[in-house]
Structure 1
C-alpha cells in the first residue's frame, strides 16, 4: 500500500464555540494568536505566516461529553525558549492549566479553551534524540521540568507580542469510537504510518517518520456516537498535502476502498469512521 506523502501536515482546525465574547479574548490574549479575519459568526486566527484556527460562533452551544470528536489540537512552537515564553504569558494571564508532560520526543503544556476544547502547546526535541526501542519510536509521559523550562528565559522580561509567528499546527488528537477501525482508515486507506500504541485505548499515526500527526483514542468510550450538531467542539480539520498528485493518490485509495468523499475546488472532504470531518487539500 502506498504511503501518504512524507511532507503531509495538519492544517487549520475549525471549532464551534458558544460566545466570541469569551473565546476571542482567550485565543488572542492568553494563547497569543492574531485575529486575522472576522465576519458574522466566523473568525479566523493564526500568525502573520498562516491561519491556524477557525472559530464558528453557535450561540447556545454547550460541550458534549462521551462522543467522538476533538481531544485536543496541538500548536507546535520551534524551540524550548519559545515554549518558555508562551508558558510565561499563560501564567501571567492566569490561564488554567490541565497538565504538563515530557513525552521524550517533545515537551508539552495542556489546557482548555472556554468551551472545553482541548489545546496542547509543545516543542519537539531534535529527531536524533527521540528514543527508539527495538527499532520503534517510543514516546513516554513523564513530568515536565517547569523550573528548567522557565530557566530558558535567563531572567529576561521581554514584552509579550504573541505566539511565535512560525508556529504551526503540529498534530491533532481525536476521540474515536473504535481504535482498530480508526487505524485501519488512517493507515490502510489514507496511508499514514502506525507509530505506536499507548496502552490499549490510544494510538499514534504519522507521515514521514514524525512522532505523530494524528492521535486516536477511545477514552470517551468504545462505540460512542458523534457529538450532536448543537454541541461545541470539532467541525473539521485539514490534512495538507504538498502537491496535487499526492491528493489524487489519496482520492484513488478512497475510491478503491469504497469510501465516499466530496470533491471541491482544491480539496476533498471525507469523514473518518467516527464521523470526524477532514478537509484534505494541497498546501496553498
Structure 2
C-alpha cells in the first residue's frame, strides 16, 4: 500500500525569515544584489519580494547572539529566477556590488553562491528545462556539480537591475545536527520525497521537483539553531483543506503544532522553525 504524503505534491517554498543585527545593511543587500523589491520597512522589520509577493522577512533583534560555529541553521536561501538571462543579470549585480563565493552547474540548474552581510548563505539560480534533468533508473534526480562558465552566463544577461517577475524562493538548504533525524522528520513524517542523497546530505521535494529542501551535515553542527540567522521558513500549501490535513497529520504523529494567524508552525529536529500556510 502506497502511503499518501502529508505535504502534497503541489506544495512549494514560500517565505524565509532571518533574524539580523544590521537590518539596514541586510535590506540593502537583498535589494541591490539579489534584486528584490522592499515591500515594507521599519527600523525593526523589512519584507522584500517580487511583484508584491513577499519572499524574505528580515527581523532585527539586537539581543540575538551571533550564530556559533557548532549551531545548526541556514546553509543558504535559494532564489530561483525564471531564465538564464535573469541569472546573467544577477551575476552582473553580484560582481558589481558584492563578492561571489562560488558558481556551479548542477545539471538541473545553474547557480551562483554568495553571503549576505551577516554571513547567511544565498544562492541565485535558474533551472534547466525539466526534460533535461538527469535521472537514475528509479526516477530520482541525479544532480551533479561542475564549474559554471561565467563568461558564457554573462553573455546571456538581459542587464536587468532587479529580479524579474517569476522569481521565487526555489528551495531552502539547512545545516542539521543529525541526518537520520532530519530524514525521519522531513521524509517519513512530512512525506517529502528523497530525490538525491549521500552519506552527508539529503535533497527532498514535494512532487517531482529536483529539491525544495536540502539538508547537510558537512560542517559537524551539534547544537540546535538559535540566535541570528534563519528564524523560520515556510511551505505554501495549495488550499485550506491541505493545511488542515497537514496539521492533523502532524498532531497524530505527536509533533507539537503552534498556531499562527495565517497557518501553523512546527520545529524540526535541529531547532529550525517550519511554517505552513495556504496560498
TM-score (norm 2): 0.94
Consecutive unaligned residues of structure 2, counting only runs of 5 or more, are none
For the residue of structure 2 that corresponds to 1:97, the secondary structure is coil
Q: Distance in 1 between matches of 2:155 and 2:108?
A: 20
Q: Aligned to 1:101, which of 84, 101, 104?
A: 104
Deviation at 1:15, TM superposition (A): 0.2
Instruction: Kindly tell me the number of residue pairs found equivalent between the two proteins.
Output: 274
Q: What's 1:274 paired with? A: 270
Residue 78 in 1 paired to residue 86 in 2? no
How does 1:123-272 map onto structure 2 within 5 Å? 123-135=126-138, 136-153=140-157, 158=159, 160-197=160-197, 199-221=198-220, 224-228=222-226, 231-272=227-268
Aligned alpha-carbon RMSD (Å): 1.5
Q: Distance in 1 between matches of 2:148 and 2:228?
A: 30
Deviation at 1:277, TM superposition (A): 0.1
Deviation at 1:39, TM superposition (A): 2.6
Deviation at 1:192, TM superposition (A): 0.8
Q: Is the 2:104–2:147 Cα contact (8 Å) retained in structure 1?
A: yes
Q: Distance in 2 between matches of 1:273 and 1:226?
A: 8
Q: Is the 1:72–1:172 Cα contact (8 Å) retained in structure 2?
A: yes
Q: What's 2:23 paired with? A: 20
Q: Distance in 1 between matches of 2:248 and 2:217?
A: 29
Consecutive unaligned residues of structure 1, counting only runs of 5 or more, are none
For the residue of structure 1 that corresponds to 2:126, the secondary structure is strand
For the residue of structure 1 that corresponds to 2:244, the secondary structure is helix
For the residue of structure 1 that corresponds to 2:101, the secondary structure is strand
TM-score (norm 1): 0.92
Q: Is the 2:19–2:59 Cα contact (8 Å) retained in structure 1?
A: yes
Runs of 4+ off more than 3 Å = none
Q: What's 1:2 paired with? A: 4
